[in-house]
Amino acid sequence: MQVETKEIVSFIKELVHIPSPSGNTEAAIKFMTSFLEENQVSFKTTNKGAVIATIPGEDESKHRLLTAHVDTLGAMVKEIKSDGRLRLDLIGGFYWNTIEGEYCSIHTNSGKVYSGTIMMHQTAAHVYKGMNELKRDEKNMVVRVDEEFHSKKDVEQAGISVGDFVSFHPRFEQSDSGFVKSRHLDDKASVAILMHVIKQIKTHSIKLPYTTHFLISNNEEIGYGGNSNIPTETVEYLAVDMGAIGDGQATDEFTVSICAKDSGGPYHFGLRKHLVNLAEKHDIGYKVDIYPYYGSDATAAIRAGADIVHGLIGPGIDASHAFERTHIKSLKNTAELIHAYLMSPLA
């Protein structure tokens, strides 16, 4: 398979601009079903709102399943303040300081969308002395809505209410040096890679050795995206999600990360060895790593009792759940390992 990183980046750009915080992913799932229809891939949607695509293989008695998730971090309106600004409740595991100053959209029940900025209530430097020392938390952080709101009543009359979803603007950019930076690379970078792999399989009529399912999950950030709707024939389950970068981590922005263990415990040793052997055989840049504060859809499936061999790989993402960045080399290495895996015997 010839990996086209330009296409992967193009898919990423489209995906990150579709608001899809956990709990409000319908638009992103619709984008995926349209893609599957265009490429003549059979699929079904689940009651939880995910989508499972299936490509038949030569062996239909034992199946593989790969998953990536379109749901992202986000927030909900928790309170409408008397001055017309909004307090938030977070969706997903991240810190308040990572969204300070971010532009956002408020999605109302009627379908109307308002723009705003997430900021400290005490932001004016000419008014609030020592503002830099205040805690970034649900009490001090607010949304300044871009409307002439003077009171809580003004906000309510405009149709904004408690429980409305708030999405963060992605700020997508690609550098001439090959870096891709944007919010929501976790996990839309991996979704884009799977889209590219699926398209290559269909375009070039590649015959897979095993029937393979592609689960696009929509609740991973809140812990239960891929723990159900696993076909009973599934033997191997590979989550494609981000590799975490930081002090003490082996993962970088240029290779594919193969996870040995996360907060849910070790991944299947045999599958991990198989992935490492494939990377070495095909000269694919990789790193093996451990993520202490991480849980994937594969972990969720195991915890739910799925009788599967489970693994986790993905592109290295710097500043995860914050100001995310990766490189086209990592995207390429991840896509190449997925293709090599799909064409290989079971681990």
Predicted model pTM = 0.97
Q: Would you say 209 and 59 are in contact if contact means Cβ atoms under 8 Å apart?
A: yes
Tens digits of per-residue pLDDT, 181-231?
Answer: 999 999 999 999 999 999 999 999 999 999 999 999 999 999 998 888 999
CB 74 within 8 A of CB 24: yes
What is the pLDDT at residue 275?
A: 98
What does the alpha-carbon distance between residue 3 and residue 33 come to, in Å, rounded to a whole number? 22
Take residue 110 and report the two structure tokens written for it.
């009627």
Whether 120 shows a pLDDT value over 90: the answer reads yes
Provide the percentage of residues in the chain whose pLDDT is more than 70: 100
Average pLDDT over residues 277-285: 98
Q: Which residues are annotated as a binding site for Zn(2+)?
A: 69, 186, 221, 241, 321
Q: Is the peptide bond before 187 cis (omega within 30 degrees of 0)?
A: yes
What was the pLDDT predicted at 343?
Answer: 98
CB 262 within 8 A of CB 243: no
How much of the chain exceeds pLDDT 90, in percent? 94
Return the half-sphere exposure (C-beta side, CA atoms, 13 A cut-off) of residue 76.
12
Average pLDDT of the residues in 80-87: 98
Cα separation, 344 vs 129, whole angstroms: 62
**Are the C-beta atoms of 169 and 105 separated by less than 8 Å?**
yes
The one-character DSSP state at 19 is -
Residues with Cβ within 8 Å of residue 154, at least 6 apart in sequence: 84, 147, 148
* Class of the CATH-defined domain 5-72+184-342: alpha beta
pLDDT over 90 (residue 125) = no
pLDDT score for 127? 84
Report the chain's mean pLDDT, rounded to a whole number. 96
- Domain boundaries in the chain? 5-72+184-342, 74-168
Note the pLDDT tens digit of each residue in 304-331: 999 999 999 999 999 999 999 999 999 9
220 a catalytic residue: yes
pLDDT tier, 93 (very low <50, low <70, confident <90, very high otherwise): very high
Query: Which residue among 7, 26, 58, 220 is the active-site one?
Result: 220
Superfamily of domain 74-168 in CATH is Peptidase M42, domain 2 (2.40.30.40)
